[in-house]
Amino acid sequence: MAQEGGFRAGLEDVVAGTSAICYLDGARGVLAYQGLDIHELARGASFEETCYLLWHGRLPDRAALGDLQSELAAARALPEPVLRLMRSLPASNGMDALRTLTSALAHTDADAGDASPKANYRKAVRLTGQIASLVATHGRLNAGGGPIQPDPALGHAANFLYMLTGDRPGALAARAFDVALVLHADHELSASTFAARVSAATLSDVHSAIVAAIGTLKGPLHGGANADVMRLLIELGEDATPERVEEAIRAKLARQVKIPGFGHRVYRTEDPRATHLRQMSRELGEKAGHPGWFRVSQQIERIVKDEKGLNANVDFYSASVYYTLGIPIDLYTPIFAVSRVAGWTAHVLEQYANNRLIRPRAEYIGPPYPQTFVPLDRR
């Protein structure tokens, strides 16, 4: 049976619920968390402030922010059983490891048997701290290094870079990554967020809901585009001439090869998150002495805009930002989870607070009813 208004493939533009967390206006290119425009947050708020906003519906005062910073700092150290499991896993990509290790965290969580609102909030805070540590430590081990203990004096973004590279980041690098985390923290009912809410709606636990989100994010139609962008940039080369870029991109378009990092299911204007990442890509490239990645990216953006009328999305410039920060390409999609866990948990807590089982219907297109049953000996 089809719902009133008819079937829409992929539930495109179908309103599936209410939420006070994130506001999107694709026609005007607006993204806001709890009514606060993403441009203001990217310019003035830290990731920790953004987490508090998503979870509580308001920005923290100085005391509340200090409390949250302390709670996140306490959460970042990974339990030893989870570290042992991480070392024992066969070689795997970052998302496979993250899915398994996040599930394992449930077994060591102090509130594992408590589904009260206060306990679920504590799980949200812990998961936000722990997932960042999981991704950074996985990247560190893959590079042949040993785990680095988090530094409570560093903020969330700076701690991630420190635990990954072993070097305390400079102010520009820390701020660039912090802005990237703010920009990725929530995006309404994306596929992974919807998966988390469907899981939570059954009254499953917080960890299970986040694992459902991670499994959904792993799919290449949701996560991974910025990794593909960086592979394209590397294929072209940091020192590629304008003629080389022009020829290569137009040839791909002529063969109807999709250029990653362009277009969006919701936005009909520039993705507002791309505005800030473009600027960060330029500033980081100049600071690091590698302005070529930004220059090549800018030329690709111009060609795709001219040829296809498509705007860059959040993935396009995040690729060169992460690469310049020294982040391995295999970690690009897991880093999405490092940020989005704030939004995922906000939606899970909101789902629990006013829960109704999410159980949609399907429009039946099979053989007409009723069919005649044929016994086995007559088939």
Per-residue pLDDT tens over the stretch 123-173: 999 999 999 999 999 999 999 999 999 999 999 999 999 999 999 999 999
Task: Name the segment(s) of the chain with CATH classification 1.10.230.10.
Answer: 225-324
pLDDT score of 330: 94
Active site residues: 264, 315
Considering the domain 225-324 in this protein, what is its CATH number?
A: 1.10.230.10
Please state, in angstroms and as integers, the Cα–Cα distance from residue 378 to each residue in 326, 373, 375, following that order: 67, 10, 6
pTM attached to this predicted model: 0.94
pLDDT score of 8: 77
- Contact criterion met (CB below 8 Å) for 130 and 98: no
Q: Burial, 65: exposed, middle or buried (Cβ in 10 Å; 0-12, 13-18, 19+)?
A: middle
Considering the domain 18-219+341-353 in this protein, what is its CATH number?
A: 1.10.580.10
Peptide linkage before 370 cis (omega within 30 of 0): yes
Helices (H), 154-241: 156-165, 171-184, 191-201, 206-217, 225-236
Strand ranges of the sheet holding 30-33, from the earlier edge strand across to the other edge: 22-25, 30-33, 36-37
Distance CA 257, CA 241 (A): 21
Distance CA 110, CA 352 (A): 20
Provide CB contacts within 8 A for 346, sequence distance 6+: 21, 54, 55, 124, 186
Distance CA 36, CA 23 (A): 9
Helices (H), the chain: 38-44, 47-56, 62-75, 80-88, 94-108, 117-142, 156-165, 171-184, 191-201, 206-217, 225-236, 242-254, 272-288, 292-308, 314-324, 332-353
pLDDT score of 5: 55
Distance CA 43, CA 337 (A): 22
pLDDT score of 265: 82
Please state, in angstroms and as integers, the Cα–Cα distance from residue 213 to each residue in 137, 196, 345, following that order: 21, 5, 10
pLDDT score of 153: 95
Task: Name the segment(s) of the chain with CATH classification 1.10.580.10.
Answer: 18-219+341-353
Q: Report residues of the chain scoring pLDDT below 70.
A: 1-6
Q: DSSP secondary-structure letter at 262?
A: B
Phi, psi of 192 (to 5 degrees): -70, -40
